Copies of this chain bind each other. A is one copy, B any other.
């Protein structure tokens, strides 16, 4: 799963959001690192719906503009949890190797 797809799932896990809202939320969540392009967003959203990980929520007219909301499904939530565990395992693996190279904080080092 790409970082883009992952962050869209996190954004939707928070609460149902419309496309543009997802773009903004992803930017917030990644502290500005990931600026989701609309071309990417709609591709991701379509795939999530096709895979049963997200579904259409309501539609709203907000200040004269249409907002199409999406919400996370149970399967999507489970997939997100699974992937997060996978990422955590990778971080664990990498930090062990990096620690041996002196490129990762030793235990207690941050408190020193």
A interface list, Cβ under 8 A from B: 2-3, 6-7, 10, 13-14, 29-31, 33, 77-78, 80-81, 84, 86-91, 93-95, 97-98, 100-101, 103-104
For the complex, what is the distance from the CA of A97 to the CA of B6, rounded to whole Å?
A: 12
Query: Judging by beta carbons under 8 Å apart, are A13 and B97 in contact?
Result: yes
Give the number of times this chain occurs in the complex, counting copies. 2
Collect the chain B residues with CB atoms within 8 Å of residue A86's CB.
33
Query: Judging by beta carbons under 8 Å apart, are B104 and A81 in contact?
Result: yes
For the complex, what is the distance from the CA of A29 to the CA of B86, rounded to whole Å?
A: 12
Query: Judging by beta carbons under 8 Å apart, are A10 and B87 in contact?
Result: no
Given that A13-B97, A101-B13, A101-B77 are known contacts, is A87 also in contact with B87, CB under 8 Å in the complex?
A: yes
Query: Judging by beta carbons under 8 Å apart, are B80 and A29 in contact?
Result: no
Query: Judging by beta carbons under 8 Å apart, are A91 and B93 in contact?
Result: no
Query: Judging by beta carbons under 8 Å apart, are B29 and A93 in contact?
Result: yes
